[in-house]
Amino acid sequence: MGVDEFLTGGRLRRITRWGEPVMHAPTEPVTVFDDELHTLIRDMFTTMAESHGVGLAATQVGVGKALFVYDCPDADEIYRHGVVCNPVLSLPEGSERNFESAEEGCLSLPGAYQPLARPDFAVVTGQDAYGQPIRVEGTGLLARCLQHETDHLGGTVFGDRLSGRLRRKLYGQAQELAHLYPDDWPLSPKATSAVDKPASSPSA
C-alpha cells in the first residue's frame, strides 16, 4: 500500500510552537509500524494541508517520534508527497555542494520568514509507514523541506541556523502577527489580515 491512503481522513491537531520542550529535544526512533502510527501520519497530512504547509514533523503536533510528512514541489515544480520515519540526511560535500538562499518559514512560528542558505540538493533515507526502506532525493524547495524537517527531529528549528540579527527580525515578525494565530491553531482558524505573506513563501 502507498502513501496516498494517508492523505485524507485524518483529524486536525494543534501545531506545537517554538519554545515548547518537544520542539527542542531529540526524538525517539519509530520502532512499531502499527495502526497508531498510521493514525498519526494521517492526522499529520490533514494538519499540514489545513495549515498550507509543505512539510510537518511529528514534533510539530507534540509527538516526540522521528518521522515527518511532506507535500512539496521540487525544482521542476512537481509536487511530491510522502512520509519518512527515522530519516538520515545526506548532503553533497565539497565542490558538489551548492547553496541557495531563500526565505524560510515554519508552521511552529507562523507568519515569520527570513532568508537562509541551504544546499539545493538533499537525500533522506529511512523507512516508510510500513517499515520498508525508503530513499527520497530532493531538489529546490523539496531539498530545503527535507533538511528543515530532519532538523526538527533533532530538536533544531531553522531560527537556530540564522545570525543573531536575522533571528531577532524573525521573532519580531512572529510577535507582530501572533494575534492572528490562536494558541490552538489550526483547530481554531487564523484571523484574516490585509498583509498576509504571499503563498510563494511556504512554511514547513
C-alpha to C-alpha distance for 148 and 153, rounded to whole angstroms: 9
In a domain, 168, yes or no: yes
pTM: 0.93
The per-residue pLDDT of the chain, averaged, comes to 94
CATH of the domain at 105: 3.90.45.10
Range of the domain at 148: 3-180
pLDDT recorded at residue 199: 44
How many other C-beta atoms can be found within 10 angstroms of the C-beta atom of residue 51?
19
In a domain, 143, yes or no: yes
pLDDT at 141 over 70: yes
8-state DSSP, 201: S
Marked catalytic residue, from 20, 36, 149, 176: 149
pLDDT at 34 over 80: yes
The yes-or-no answer on residue 149 being catalytic is yes
Q: How many domains is the chain partitioned into structurally?
A: 1
Mean pLDDT of 46-55: 97
pLDDT recorded at residue 195: 53
Question: Which residue type, as a one-letter code, is found at position 187?
Answer: L
Cell (9 digits) for 123: 537525500
Structure confidence by residue, pLDDT tens digits, 63-105: 999 999 999 999 999 999 999 999 999 999 999 999 999 999 9
pLDDT recorded at residue 193: 64
pLDDT recorded at residue 192: 81
Mean pLDDT of 121-148: 98
In a domain, 167, yes or no: yes
Structure confidence by residue, pLDDT tens digits, 13-31: 999 999 999 999 999 999 9
